[in-house]
Amino acid sequence: MSRVSKIRYFFEQSWLLIVASFIFGLLIAVTNASLDTRIKQNLKNKLNKLMKELISDANEFKIVADQAEIMGDKGKVVRTDIYQAFDANESSVGFAFEAVGAGFADKIKIVIAVDGKFERFFGFKVLSSSETPGFGSKIAEDDPASNEDLVDEFKDAPAGEVKLVRTGKRREDKSEANDDEIIAITGATVSSEAVVRIFNTYTEQVRAKLQEKGLIGNGR
């Protein structure tokens, strides 16, 4: 008798809680189901938009290496998708991939684009960063006031190991000797260094992965 009445008491006290939990759970499930595809599409759209900005001839992007494993900065394995860009004639115009590394404040996520033969960079775009506004954030912005643009520094840089320098010739005036030098942004040295480090960590490994798949030649 007392056991049954205990159970009855339990239900009397908590029936509202149980009913409410069901209703709320249902609400969440319904909202999630209806908005899920849209959310996933938003993420894809963002990546596609940035990749298109980098590789202007590209018509569509196809994943050629799904979740490729890259040995990251601190010895941790990171997974990234490597995309190949095709133009309207179905010929390859370049490759693009997400890269992530530690910045001044938190992680910096960028999209790196390389040309079809993996010889020169097209540049990079920042996906997300929380660098100090006004200082480190200059790696992403295109500040018309100053003529410093980190993205420009990477355009047409040779697809290999790059070096960060404090001063030097801008990309337009570069010669063979200092082609692989990237000039840091004033006031954003650590953030510029972080971007260079990300490039250096990822480039060779992505090249190796693509060579494995036979998508680019072995000769350099």
Residues 38-97 that bind other proteins (CB under 8 A): 38-39, 42-43, 46, 74, 76
In the list 1, 4, 17, 177, the residue contacting other proteins (rule: CB under 8 A) is 17
**Closer CB to other proteins, 146 or 211, in the complex:** 146
C-alpha dihedral (133, 105, 142, 198), degrees to nearest 10:
180
C-alpha dihedral (89, 61, 68, 200), degrees to nearest 10:
90
Q: Is 146 in the site for other proteins (CB under 8 A)?
A: no
Only segment of 11-19, 57-65, 112-120, 165-173 that touches other proteins (CB under 8 A): 11-19
In the list 133, 143, 163, 217, the residue contacting other proteins (rule: CB under 8 A) is 133
d(CA 15, CA 17): 5
**Closer CB to other proteins, 69 or 212, in the complex:** 69
Only segment of 28-36, 52-60, 149-157, 169-177 that touches other proteins (CB under 8 A): 28-36
Which residues is 165 bridged to in the sheet? 183
**Closer CB to other proteins, 48 or 132, in the complex:** 132
Minimum distance, C-beta of residue 139 to other proteins, in the bound complex (Å): 15
d(CA 39, CA 42): 5
Cα distances (angstroms) measured from residue 100 to each of 28, 51, 106, 194: 32, 16, 11, 10
- Judged by the rule CB under 8 A, the positions of this chain that interact with other proteins are 13-14, 16-17, 20-21, 24-25, 27-29, 31-32, 35, 38-39, 42-43, 46, 74, 76, 102, 104-105, 128, 132-135, 190
